[in-house]
Amino acid sequence: MNSLIERLRTRRLFSVFVLLATISAVIVAGSFAAHGVRGQENQNDSSDATPLKVVNSPVAPNEFVKIAKLVGPAVVNINTQTFPKQSDNHGRKNFHGHVFQQPQDPNGGGDDQDQQQGQGQDNFQDFFNRFFGGQMPDQGGPDQGGGVQESLGSGFIVDPKGYIITNNHVVEKADKIYVKLSTDPDSQDLGRPARVIGTDKATDLAVIKIDTNTPLPTVKLGNSDTTQVGDWVEAIGSPFALSQTVTAGIISAKNRTIEPGASGQFQHFIQTDAAINPGNSGGPLLNMNGEVIGVNTAIFTQSAGYQGIGFAMPSNTVVSVYNDLVSPSHKVTRGSIGIQFREGLSGAVNRVYGFKNGVLVQEVQPGGPADKAGLKPGDIITAIDGRSIKDGDDLVNEIASRRPGSTARLGYIRDGKPQDTTVTIGDRDKVFAEMTGQQPPAAPDDQGDAGETTLGIVVREASPATQAKIHGSGMVIQSVRTGSFADLQGLAPGLVITRINKQSTATKAEYDGVVKKLKTGDDVVFEVIDPRHPEAGINYIGGTLQ
């Protein structure tokens, strides 16, 4: 028994010894391994590594590089300020970009007025306001304390005297407009003050001007009619305030209409996949000759950013509108014959009424040009001056291009029989106003206060008390339109204009007589007195009327 117990004790001791020996071996092995790693670290010599160098091999500039260098100096950044008004969203910076969500629903059209005021247009306006004009959900409520709303867009110089093309929606609500050239210093300064020369809502185009003592770099306008789907194009602008941003793509389609009904009758866009984002609005779309073939205007997006579909107003339209806006009237005059028609008619209508191409008249404005020419609802206009009319767009473009007062020979079908008549083209604005019962917009010469149109001020004759203070007579400035000629010269409400160009303005009749003779390019000098500080005497303020 004792022998058995002794053998068991010996085996137990042996097992313990083996276990301890194993643990010791592991510890020793780990120690050697650790020593090996530390040794390797100490021997981590990189003296045999070759330092990298930048390869200075010349790369020939491609066409995009050449165009960016050529055109970049003529592309400008436009900053605008809008002063607080009731229901405005204050204290925010916006990036102008015309955006729409839904494709066209061609429910109708007209020679004069927009019949389509349905849900599609409401959605468009909602989306535009939500992302670029109104309050975004994550930015809280309006600043009730008031503030200046700043916005950003793009434009390009087309005349070395400082004339710039941009979008109407970039400047239409602005109280102050500033322009920064690519060569201007990058500072907190908003830029050079600019004024609006003319705008055209129908094409969403505007012309603004900055004063300059030296000729400015300009761009050339190319022929958008000769562009083709698949052509390379380049866009330059200031998306999200990142000025002189260059993107490239191709022409994806032509003759796109993105707003329904008559509101889109004069907006037939070039579609491109060149990246266009909010802030690009008003910038140029260029062909490979460095010529502007479009003005970047709108994007299709569901994210408020680039999704590969942008739209530019064709340069051929831009040139026509620009020339009208810089004319003495500073407005685009379009022709009209006073009819309504419906787009997108079914083939059944065409077959029953017996025509393939043409326009089926729905309404004729009583007393309007078409009515006087004998046209009636149900007539099918098929030709103008012997040229066949394809559809409603073709008719509108042809009539709108005619000057009011000119005549055109219309071919039409009535009760299956071809007939013709001569129509006298009317002014679209006036015809539209008569159709809707509104007052037509007044032409500059028709407005009651010539100074408000020409100079940007409203005046009244000085009261006897004011006359006593200044020891004379004159016109007291009641208001000054922001960005106007008078505003840029520094005139302010309360000042009294005693003479303009050395001619008395003691009465309203004298003032009107002097102002009505002023024209673009004239030097205009005001002699003004501040009735609050009459002891300061006469102050001479003047500039060149643009």
CA atoms of 485 and 180, how far apart (whole Å): 20
Whether 182 is a known active-site residue: answer no
Q: Report CA dihedral (144, 147, 151, 157) to the nearest 10 degrees.
A: 150
CA atoms of 154 and 198, how far apart (whole Å): 17
Q: Which of 151, 154, 224, 281 is catalytic?
A: 281
Phi, psi of 163 (to 5 degrees): -80, 130
Identify any residues that bridge with 200 across adjacent strands, giving them in sequence order: 205
- Residue type present at position 292: V
Residue spans of alpha helices (H) in 331-484:
347-353, 369-372, 392-400, 428-436, 450-454, 464-470
DSSP 466-520: HHHHHTS--EEEEEE-TTSHHHHHT--TT-EEEEETTEE-SSHHHHHHHHHT--T
- Residue type present at position 359: V
- Residue type present at position 439: Q
Q: Which of 96, 98, 169, 268 is catalytic?
A: 169
Whether 391 is a known active-site residue: answer no
Placement of tokens 């239409």 in the chain: 172
| Cβ–Cβ < 8 Å for 543, 526 | no
- b/e burial code for range 341-357 (CB count within 10 A of at least 16 → b): bbbeeeeeeeeebebee
Q: Which of 112, 204, 379, 393 is catalytic?
A: 204
Give every CB contact of residue 163 below 8 A, 6+ residues apart in sequence.
Answer: 157, 197, 207, 208, 209, 326
Q: In a 10 Å sphere around its CB, with 0-12 CB exposed, 13-18 middle and 19+ buried, how is residue 390 labelled?
A: middle
Residue 396, Cα to own-chain centre: how many angstroms?
24
Give every CB contact of residue 536 below 8 A, 6+ residues apart in sequence.
Answer: 529, 530
Pairing of strands 149-159, 163-167: antiparallel
Whether 169 is a known active-site residue: answer yes
DSSP 314-354: EHHHHHHHHHHHTSTT-S---EE--EEE-SS--HHHHHHHT
Placement of tokens 């490979």 in the chain: 288
CA atoms of 171 and 80, how far apart (whole Å): 7
Residue 417, Cα to own-chain centre: how many angstroms?
47
CA atoms of 284 and 300, how far apart (whole Å): 18
Active site residues: 169, 204, 281
